[in-house]
Every structure is written in C-alpha cells, then in structure tokens.
C-alpha cells in the first residue's frame, strides 16, 4: 500500500513538473491509490478464506485444509478456479437485469467504503471532512443490493432472506451510528485523520468501551456474519438471498462479505483503537504496521465469534437490537455529553 502511494506522489510531482494541472495530477494519484486498495482487498479475500478455514478447524478440533500445498494454501486457489469455471445460471423466471446487477452493486459498495479509511499518516484515498458520515452512507446502500438479489431471483426462500436482511441491517445500523457518534462528540470532527490524531495519548476504546461493544455487535449483524447470519440461514432458507446465484456472481457476494468485514474492522481500528498510532510509545515501528496488526486482531475476533456462538432466532435478534442495543447506545451518548460538559466546566 505504501509503495503505491509513494509511487503516486512521485508521479504527481513529475506530472506537475511537466506543466500539467494539479487536477490532472490529483486524478492520477486517486486512480493509483484506488488500484492499491482494490489489490489489497482482493488479496485479503484470498488470505482470509484460508485463515478462516484454518481457524475454524482449530476451534472445532479438526485439521482443515492441509493436503493441497503447504498448509492447504493450494485449496484456496483450487476453489477460485472452480468458482470461475462454474456455469453462470440465471433462473428462467428471474428479473435478469436486477439479478445481474445485485451482486455487482454489493461488491462495488464494499469497495467504495474504502475511500475514507486511513492505513497510515497520509495514506488515504480521500480524507473527507465528513469521512465517517460517508462510510455510514455508503454502507447503508448495501441493504438495497441484498433485497435486489432476493427479489429478482423469483424464489420464495431468496425473497424471505432478502426481507430478513433488510430488517436486520436497518435495525442494527441505528445503534452502530449512535456508537460512532460518541467518538465524533469527543473529537469534534468527522474527519478520519482528526479522529486518529485525537487518540495519540489515549485510544477511544477506554472512554467509549460501551460504544465499542455496541459497534462490534452491530457491525457483525450489518455484514451478516454468524451468529447474525439469518438472511442466509441454511436450516430454513437453504442459502438465503443468493440461493439462485452461481459462479462468479455468487463469488461476488462472498467477496463483498469479506471486503465489508475488513472495512468494518478498519473503521473499528480507526475510531476506537488509535488507527496507526503506536501503543506504549513504540513509534519506531511504522504506523501502517500497527494499523495492520490491529486490523488482523479485529478480524480474528470475527472468526472466533462465528465459530463459537450458535445462530440466534429471528425474534431474539430483533428484540436484542431494538430493546437493548438502541437504548444502551442512546444512554452512552447522553453520558458522553454530560462527561464533555463537566470536563469543560472543570477546565474552564
């Protein structure tokens, strides 16, 4: 990632030196950093597929992939080749245009969310003044793609899965936004770089521990990961909203899930775990290394939760969101506001 950004900066300086406009140089910089993010996400999808299989095997006391290549690395390559080689089947009664569009838009949404995530100091595609608001707005559009896939398939199981996805994602998006609002109140800014800079001395997970818990649970539900993967519930819905998808379109749904999981983990690192700031004054290690370490720890917890807890019932899931998560997140905002007011009164 740092290599691509340094390359883009060098090219921008060279282009400006040749007399090109700053706008042209900025477009080139954005294009190269965007390419870097896409490569980063695609590589992580492959790595996370293998990591989740190995970790799930460890949690369940079995071997996991171990035959094809060292540590089963070749298994992921074989799965990719198999998926690309599968026939792209579209049901006869499906809305073909919407059916084709759903998986593409879901993956595109996952990519767009990365535009405001900082990997290190200055290592961000666009450091918007409303960065966290942009992330929330882009993330909420994923709901549309889920219901598109369920409705366009002309399958009752897929439709039920899509409706479940809409209800779940909208319900848990509310406490997730409220949890992030506490951090914005402490920082006084929605700009990602400002939020990370404000955590130089103390990470926000300490004063906003409850908000971090709410965000983690809500983010798990937002990306449809177990134990909140009810839109895909195989016991009653076979495979949920993408049951009719195959080949590369099915793979796009899977890649979108992993890309979203990495994105929400990166936001958790940025908002609560200090971003690229080093713990214990260990600043001799580059900031991007600390960011990636924290990111992988967050991803490990998602794997751990998935293979530890059973799936919730639909009514329990909704009750937990509306009757517990939202009231607690609102209470956290009130307490945060009172704390800020008292602090300002004491410090004058």
Q: Which two tokens stand for residue 295?
A: 């990111």
Distance CA 25, CA 32 (A): 11
Task: Answer whether 282's CB lies under 8 Å from 205's CB.
Answer: no
User: Buried b / exposed e across 108-142, counting CB within 10 Å, b at 16+?
Assistant: bbbbbbbbbbbbbbebbbeebeebbebbbebbbeb
Q: What is the pLDDT of residues 75-101, one digit of tens each?
A: 888 888 888 888 888 888 888 899 989
**307 to 56, 214, 299, 340: CA distances (angstroms):** 6, 20, 13, 39
pLDDT digits (tens, 9 = 90+) for 245-288: 888 888 888 888 888 899 999 999 999 999 999 887 777 888 88
Tell me what the pLDDT averaged over the chain comes to: 85
194-214 mean pLDDT = 93
Residue 176 confidence (pLDDT): 94
Contact indicator for 31, 6 with CB cutoff of 8 Å: no
pLDDT for the residue numbered 76: 84
Whole-number pLDDT of residue 178: 94
Query: Which has the closest alpha carbon to 135: 108, 122, 116, 118?
Result: 116
Is residue 223 within 8 Å of residue 257, measured between CB atoms?
yes
**pLDDT tens string 5-32:** 555 555 555 555 555 555 676 677 667 7
The domain segmentation of the chain, as residue ranges, is 1-85, 93-347
pLDDT, tens only, 281-332: 777 888 889 999 999 999 999 999 988 888 888 888 889 999 999 999 999 9
Residue 91: strand, helix, or coil = coil
């Amino acid at each position: 990632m740092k290599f691509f950004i340094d390359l883009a900066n060098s090219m921008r300086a060279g282009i400006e030196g040749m007399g090109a406009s700053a706008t042209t140089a900025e477009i080139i910089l954005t294009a190269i950093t965007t390419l870097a993010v896409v490569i980063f996400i695609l590589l992580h999808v492959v790595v996370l597929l293998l990591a989740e299989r190995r970790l799930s095997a460890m949690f369940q006391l079995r071997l996991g992939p171990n035959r094809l290549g060292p540590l089963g690395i070749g298994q992921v390559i074989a799965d990719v080749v198999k998926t690309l080689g599968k026939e792209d089947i579209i049901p006869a009664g499906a809305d073909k245009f919407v059916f084709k569009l759903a998986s593409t838009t879901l993956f595109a949404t996952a990519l767009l969310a990365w535009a405001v995530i900082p990997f290190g100091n200055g290592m961000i595609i666009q450091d918007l003044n409303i960065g966290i608001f942009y992330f929330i707005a882009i993330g909420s559009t994923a709901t549309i793609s889920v219901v598109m896939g369920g409705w366009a398939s002309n399958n009752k199981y897929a439709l039920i899965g899509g409706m479940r996805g809409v209800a779940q994602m909208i319900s848990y998006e509310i406490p997730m936004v409220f949890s992030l609002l506490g951090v914005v109140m402490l920082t006084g800014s929605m700009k990602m770089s400002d939020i990370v800079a404000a955590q130089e001395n103390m990470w926000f997970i300490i004063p906003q521990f409850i908000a971090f818990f709410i965000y983690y649970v809500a983010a798990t539900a937002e990306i449809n990961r177990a134990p909140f993967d009810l839109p895909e519930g195989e016991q009653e819905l076979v495979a949920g909203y993408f049951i009719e998808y195959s080949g590369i379109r099915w793979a796009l749904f899977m890649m979108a899930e992993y890309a979203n999981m990495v994105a929400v983990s990166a936001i958790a690192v940025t908002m609560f775990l200090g971003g690229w700031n080093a713990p214990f004054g260990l600043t001799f290690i580059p900031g991007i290394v600390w960011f990636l370490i924290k990111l992988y720890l967050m991803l490990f917890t998602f794997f751990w939760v998935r293979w530890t807890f059973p799936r919730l019932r639909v009514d329990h899931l909704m009750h937990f969101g509306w009757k517990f998560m939202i009231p607690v997140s609102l209470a956290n905002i009130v307490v945060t506001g009172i704390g800020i007011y008292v602090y300002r009164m004491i410090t004058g």
